[in-house]
Structure formats: structure tokens, C-alpha cells
Amino acid sequence: MSSPLVCSGLGRDLALAALARGDKVIATARGRTVSKLEDLKTAGAATLELDVTSPLEKLHEAAKEAVNIYGKIDVLVNNAGYMLVGAIEESTPEETFDQFNTNVFGALNVARAILPYMREKKSGTVIWMGSVGGWQSVPYGGLYATTKWALRGISETLNDEISPLGLRSVCIDLGYFRTSFLGGTQRGPPVSRIPDYQPLTEAAEARFQAYNGKQPGNPAIAVELLVDLLHGAGNTQGKSFPTTINLGSDSYSVAKKASEDALIRLEEWKTVSYSTDFEQH
């Protein structure tokens, strides 16, 4: 298996887990951080400079370079992302664009650059790193969560479009895993620009920091399961390949409640929904 990875946090752990299984890995990072991939290179990974926010033409060049390393790409892991914090009104248009440009538009363009090679082979899997935040309202992290809602929708639609071609797309909706994510390496600094929101934003930031280091999810188990999923091994063996998988008990519980609440709301408003149709004769 050859898979380009944007390697930080869980992506780095996934790269190491794949290498340990004997898979071929291409680890990618932006120019100023590509030197941090030396340990992965020592472990056997190829490395490549890649900024997901680059123009599509530049991403096509990087995709061609990646394919030339091993001759094909079996798996693309769209792992690049960070969390912008603050109430939605507080976030500037520039901050909002940057959040979507990295988490959504960048991931989309990387997929656009890699998919032609997968279509040529009629084989390949695109993985999008979603979040439990894509199943609920996340005040103070609302724009980040919204990008994760978007990724699940993109992944499901993409899967419908590419599955007839022999390809697959899956969104991995992660719960809170014990990584450095809440500590500041993949998130923006605390923000409190509008006094009306200060009680909410400060309380949310305090909850994040109190939770940091106590998250229930075990990254080592998660990455092994993801490698199993791609190989059809372990606990994933015999199951149909999912369009979305929730990893972590918290992600499962939140998604289950959101689904149940949606069914209740739909039934309560069913007559109103039906009332807007033309009369059937």
C-alpha cells in the first residue's frame, strides 16, 4: 500500500503503523516543516514537500512526483487540518477562509490531483479525517466543526461518484483522542474579542485545557484499526466498507444521539414537511 500522508499528530502515528505492516508510505509536509519528517524517513518512508493550500497546478506536480516514487497511489489520507477557535462572529473573514482553505478546499484539491492516477488503475481509497465535531454544534470551535461536517458530505458524495470506477471514499469521524491537538500545535490561540461572548469562550477554552491529556481515545489503537480497515483485517474483516466510521466511544455516542434526535424532529414536523407539496390527484 502506498499512501501520501500529511504527517503530524495522528497522521504521523498512522504512517508508522503502516510502515510496521510493510506498507510503502509517502509522508508529506509543508516546506518549513518537511525537516520534521526525518524520523519517518529513517523508518522507511519516502518524504515529499506538499502544502495543501498550493494552487491545483502545483498539487498536480506533487502528485506526479509521488506516483513516480512507487508507481501508484493506493490510498490518499487527507489529514491536514487545524482548529480555529473563537465564536463565529469573532472570526475574521481572512481567518474563516484560511480555516476552510486548509481543512476543506486544500483536501479537495489534493484529491483532485491524486484521483486521475487512481481512476487509471481502477483502484484506490480516499480517506478524509473527520471529527465528532461534524455531528454536533461546537460553540467556540464552530468553524472547525463546520469543516468536518463538510468533509463527511464530500466523502459520501465522492464515494457515490467513484465507486462505479472501482474506487472508495471514507470519512473517519474521530472522537477526542489523546494527541497534542488541544495543546496548541494544531489549533489557533485562545480568542475573546467580543465581550458578550467572553463567558462562553473562556469556559470552552477552560474545558479544552482540563480535557487535554484525559481524552478517552487511544491513538495507537486507532491507527492500527485504520490500517486494518484498508487491509480488510482484524475487527474490520467481513464488514462492508463504510462511507463513514466513528472512532471512539464519544464519537459513536454523539453521532447516535444526533441521528436519533433528527428522527424525532423529522416525525414531529412531518405534517408540516408534507404540507408544502403540490396536491396529489
- In sequence order, what DSSP letters do the residues of the chain get, joined into one string? -EEEEE-STHHHHHHHHHHHTT-EEEEEE-TTTGGGGHHHHHHT-EEEE--TTS-HHHHHHHHHHHHHHHS--SEEEE----B--S-GGGS-HHHHHHHHIIIIIIHHHHHHHHHHHHHHHT-EEEEEEEEGGGGS--TTSHHHHHHHHHHHHHHHHHHHHHGGGTEEEEEEEE--BSSSGGGTTTBPPP---SGGGHHHHHHHHHHHHHHTT--SB-HHHHHHHHHHHHHT-GGGTTSPPPSEEEESHHHHHHHHHHHHHHHHHHHHTHHHHHTTSPPP-
Residue 70 bears catalytic tag: no
Backbone φ, ψ for residue 23 (5° rounding): -80, 155
Of the candidates 144, 176, 252, 274, the residue annotated as catalytic is 144
Rounded Cα distance between 241 and 245, Å, is 9
Q: How many CB atoms lie within 10 A of CB 46?
A: 18
Active site residues: 144
